[in-house]
Structure 1
Amino acid sequence: MPSGAVRSTRRQVLIQFSGSLPGRTLTLTPTTNQTFRDLKLSVLPDSSQSSDFYFARNGRILEDSDSIFGAPISNLSTLILHRKVRGGGGDGGATGAESRDCYLNMYAEKKPDKVDPNEQRLSKWLNCALSNEPLREPCVIDKLGNVFNKEALVEALLGKKLPKAFRHIKGLKDMMNIELSRIPGVEKGHGDAQFQCPVTGLEFNGKYKFFALRGCGHVLSSKALKEIKSSSCLVCQQEFKEHDKVVINGSEEEVAVLRERLEEERLKIKETKSKKVKNGEVATDRVIGIKQKALAKDDGSRRADSNASAKRFKVVDLAPENANKEVYASIFTSSKKSEFKETYMCRSLPLGRN
């Protein structure tokens, strides 16, 4: 062997490629001072990609700086050349998340609990939108189609405790009484649908669309109103128009339409009031009210004067023209104090009269 040459041994290794590399196997005879990095450079076509690969044997990663002969490998051992998976880890290399802080930050934010959409739907249709208690009659809806227990809504109005989502409800005029048809044999508050369409029998549970009629308040399914086309209520036969139908727990688009209708109604009320002010009707009403108060005050003063005059009235004021007032007044016992003294047993007469 010439001087300066690197001595080799008879130890041979099998190089097997995996992953995105071609599925082939090479047999190499490494030198004594050769490292696994040198071995990678000898088998890879592009040496600049050597940092993207690593050797492994029997699931154990072999470091690039280790000597091949210093590693616990025997002759004809199979070394598998893997490509590193960036960002995912699992290959034994760097994952970018070895520090404890990374793991703590990963679990620092509590993920919201997943809500079953069926349970959420049932809660919206079976419970009061304000108190979240089971619906119990009497029930009402607002002009946006939300369903409430009337008692809970009135208490919130009186206590001024309405949430921001229901601030459009100003008083009783902003709620409508509804008539729900109870399912026969179903107990109150047992967790399932309690009400149904009185025509089709569809359950009031959110699977079907329902409308409330403004005139009578009866709640009917959309299917009933479509199949039986009529301009009167199918329960009480009261006439209604298309805009009298209020969808209950509608979609975002349907609620947006109801909200626009609500704003239009409020604008009409404001315009009507402003017209009355311009025409002087409101001022006239105020003047009439002031006059009525003044007249009532005058009437009260006149009555007081008449009562005072009645107290000052004397019998002699009604005496005839030619009559002696003293003689006329003597007819009445109240006109002059009597000289007779009476007790509960007898009358005391002056001397000379008994």
Structure 2
Amino acid sequence: MQIRRQIFVKSPHHQQSIALQLDPTQSILTLSNLTSLLEPSHRISLSAFTLSLDGKPLNVSTRIKLSTLPPVSTLTLHPRLLGGGGDGGATGAESRDCYLKMYAEKKPDKVDPNEQRLSKWLNCALSNEPLAEPCVVDLLGNLFNKEALVNALLTKKLPKQFNYIKGLKDMVNIRLTHVAGGDDGVLGDTTSSRFQCPVSGLEFNGKYKFFALRGCGHVMSAKALKEVKSSGCLVCHVEVKDCDKIVINGTEEEVKLLRERMEEEKAKVREKKGGSKKGKNGVAVVDAGVKVVKRQMDDGNVNVNVNGNGVSVKKFKAGDAVPVNATKEVYASLFTSSKKKSDFRETYSCRSLPLGRN
């Protein structure tokens, strides 16, 4: 006796289940058999669905023996999810270039502003390592580990932004005051500092303005210098002028003022080095940079006149060095430079005699 088997179809397009009658003469059930039963009679396109029979997914290679099926089975149709990338669906991009650009651009990593600020105040501006004594500050207020800066100068590997640092005279040794009981290790906490003002106790973390004093090297807050009226250092009492205060990690305007002050100081040094000097003949050379003129003056090749406006150089002429008992015109005639060029005519082989004699 043949058992008649039914398959109920659950589809999202039909509110009620569809019953399919299977041919009892068939022994094998395939996906093509189900397609032939569903598409013509029930107007269902299986290309938009994936199928599962009694919870088991079906594909083209699936073959089911009818003898193993229960009398009543359930065939479920699951809608395919179109699009999403890589399958020809919508990408949300206006064009392919826009789509590629969307993934090609790498978004910058977010940096904690507190950590960035604290790193600028507690790390070397050159090596980015934590500040460790001995420390120095340049004339523009940048902090360095002295060893790292000196090594960069010796190996000539100093970055271009620090090319104004030529030697030890362009850096100031500083004394940082450690926080009592503070951690001198690697930077970890983005809200605390390892240094403080020796007078007010304010933390050296970028929230407050600090100055480095060129005379003694002590670093203290602007608040302490403002509240305590004194013409000297508040720690060692060394005399301090306004020009000796270097603001640390200042604003653009403050750095601009420091740069102007630095250029003025260098100009004064150059002017001092280029002051009046005396040659072997006792003639004052105002511009010491003109070394060639001075050397030629010593050799007697040029005549130098010194006045209030500088040095005037007179070129050598044969007529100015006439030997004793010699006629000036005769002596000058030995040199072609003593006659005007218009008085001579040159040939292809040699210089000619003066006009009127050939």
TM-score normalised by length of structure 2: 0.50
Runs of 4+ in 1 over 6 A off after TM superposition: none
Shift of residue 120, structure 1, vs aligned partner: 1.0
Shift of residue 187, structure 1, vs aligned partner: 2.8
Q: Does 1:116 align with 2:112?
A: yes
Distance in 2 (alpha carbons) for counterparts of 1:248 and 1:102: 46
Alignment-derived partner of residue 238 in structure 1: 238
Shift of residue 159, structure 1, vs aligned partner: 0.7
Alignment-derived partner of residue 131 in structure 1: 127
One-letter code aligned to 2:95? S
Alignment-derived partner of residue 152 in structure 1: 148
Alignment-derived partner of residue 201 in structure 1: 201
Distance in 1 (alpha carbons) for counterparts of 2:250 and 2:150: 23
Q: Give the 3-state SS of the residue equivalent to 2:246 in structure 1.
A: strand
Distance in 2 (alpha carbons) for counterparts of 1:98 and 1:183: 58
Distance in 1 (alpha carbons) for counterparts of 2:277 and 2:103: 64
Alignment-derived partner of residue 211 in structure 1: 211
Shift of residue 277, structure 1, vs aligned partner: 4.9
Shift of residue 96, structure 1, vs aligned partner: 8.9
Distance in 1 (alpha carbons) for counterparts of 2:94 and 2:227: 66
Alignment-derived partner of residue 260 in structure 1: 260
- Between the two proteins, the alignment pairs up a number of residues equal to 191
Unaligned runs of 5+ in 2: 1-89, 279-283, 292-358
Distance in 2 (alpha carbons) for counterparts of 1:221 and 1:201: 9
One-letter code aligned to 1:209? K
One-letter code aligned to 1:246? I
Distance in 2 (alpha carbons) for counterparts of 1:135 and 1:95: 51
Distance in 2 (alpha carbons) for counterparts of 1:139 and 1:182: 13
One-letter code aligned to 1:212? A
Q: Which has the higher strand share?
A: 2
Alignment-derived partner of residue 269 in structure 1: 269
Distance in 2 (alpha carbons) for counterparts of 1:183 and 1:272: 43
Q: Identity over the aligned pairs, expressed in percent?
A: 72
Identify the range of structure 1 (183-192 vs 270-279) with the bigger mean alpha-carbon deviation. Answer: 270-279
Unaligned runs of 5+ in 1: 1-93, 287-354
Shift of residue 214, structure 1, vs aligned partner: 0.9
Shift of residue 281, structure 1, vs aligned partner: 8.5
Higher Cα Rg, which structure: 1
1:302-335, CA deviations, whole angstroms, 9 ceiling, x for partnerless residues? xxxxxxxxxxxxxxxxxxxxxxxxxxxxxxxxxx
1:100-145, CA deviations, whole angstroms, 9 ceiling, x for partnerless residues? 2221123322232232211110110010111000011111000000
Q: Does structure 1 retain, via aligned residues, the 8 Å contact 2:275–2:287?
A: no
Distance in 2 (alpha carbons) for counterparts of 1:263 and 1:179: 25
1:174 paired residue among 161, 170, 173:
170
Alignment-derived partner of residue 299 in structure 1: none
| Root-mean-square deviation over aligned CA pairs | 2.3
Distance in 1 (alpha carbons) for counterparts of 2:181 and 2:276: 55
1:266-300, CA deviations, whole angstroms, 9 ceiling, x for partnerless residues? 111222233235844998xx9xxxxxxxxxxxxxx
TM-score normalised by length of structure 1: 0.51
Alpha-carbon spacing, 1:276–1:116, altered in 2? closer, same or farther (3 Å):
farther
One-letter code aligned to 2:166? K
